[in-house]
Amino acid sequence: MHTLKIGIPKSGNFWLHTILHNIIDYSDLKYESFMANQPIYEVAKNLEMNLFKGQININFLDITKNAVFYRIGNMFRYPIDDIDDYINSSTLVWTHAQMSDNVLNSIKKFDKLIYIIRDPRDILISWSNFVFSPYMQRYYPFLIVDETDPETYLNKNMTTIVSDWMNHVGGYLKHQKDLNIHFVFYERLLHDFDRELEKILAYLGIDLDVKARGEIKEKVSFNHMKKDSPNHIRKGNLGQWVDLLSDAQKEEVLEMATPLLKLLNYPLNSQIDTIPELPEKLPENLNLPDGKVVLLKPSNH
């Protein structure tokens, strides 16, 4: 079985990837890694990559509108000539790719697709802090132009970040049914991990006993992962935006994202009184902040 984990950055991707990796380790599946069999792998092991533990071992897939690449963090990026060979050589793959025709043609080759969603207001805060981390300051300094702190960065880039979230999430919701995508909510993982783990296992068709599930829960707990990857795991909370965003910022997000927030049952005020979930039935389309309309029901051709 070949599984692709998808999500916009700062949605809990590392957490979900670690959960899936542990599920594979505790199952009867054989873990195969395309990355570990590339010549660059031995070289990369001696390079400094301090974002999170095991970063070098991630099968990370970059998919643009006309090409596909594998990469190692910020260190190395190389074209993939045979996507079928890549997939057949990888049990678990991670991508941030936004939906496009080329993405669709590539990801439909996987057996399982799991997409993680997080409240864009918390993504705003998480990303704005992350770009000022030592790792990002060293390897991606071009992301910061005139900004001097996370708050300034958030104010300047809020529209772009929320628009990207709308387009990214909406693009994959459109293909929920035809690609059989399993959606995981970051907030639901925090709210009831056992239940969400059960649903992931059911989707993957993997049965694990109570002992294995308990051990996975411990290994992917915030304290355990924070200890292993202190440079990447920051707080692991939900609803930070309630206290950290100004009233004006909250209103601006709502002006852009209310249709999708409402569709996914995210709170529309500062009371965290709902848990996100997929609707039983998706609407015909979804208006996006750039004026485009995403058809959430794919055509038959």
pLDDT in tens, the chain (301 residues): 999 999 999 999 999 999 999 999 999 898 999 988 888 888 777 766 555 566 778 899 999 989 999 988 777 889 999 999 999 999 999 999 999 999 999 999 999 999 999 999 999 999 999 888 887 787 777 777 778 888 998 999 999 999 999 999 999 998 998 999 999 999 999 989 999 999 999 999 999 999 999 999 999 987 655 455 444 445 556 788 988 999 999 999 999 999 999 999 999 987 777 889 998 877 776 665 555 555 555 444 3
164-207 pLDDT tens trace: 999 999 999 989 989 999 999 999 999 899 999 999 999 999 99
33-51 pLDDT tens trace: 998 888 888 877 776 655 5
Does the reported pTM lie above 0.75? yes
- How is the chain classified by DSSP, letter by letter? --EEEE--TTSSHHHHHHHHHHHHHHSSPPP--SGGGSHHHHHHTTS---SSTTGGG--EEEE-SS-EEEEETTTEEEE-S-HHHHHHT-SEEEE-PPP-HHHHHHHTTSSEEEEEE--HHHHHHHHHHHTTSHHHHHH-GGG-SS--SHHHHHHHHHHHHHHHHHHHHHHHHTTTTTTTEEEEEHHHHHH-HHHHHHHHHHHHT----HHHHHHHHHHTSHHHHHHH-TTT-----S-THHHHS-HHHHHHHHHHHHHHHHHTT--SSS---------SS--SEEE-TTS-EEESS----
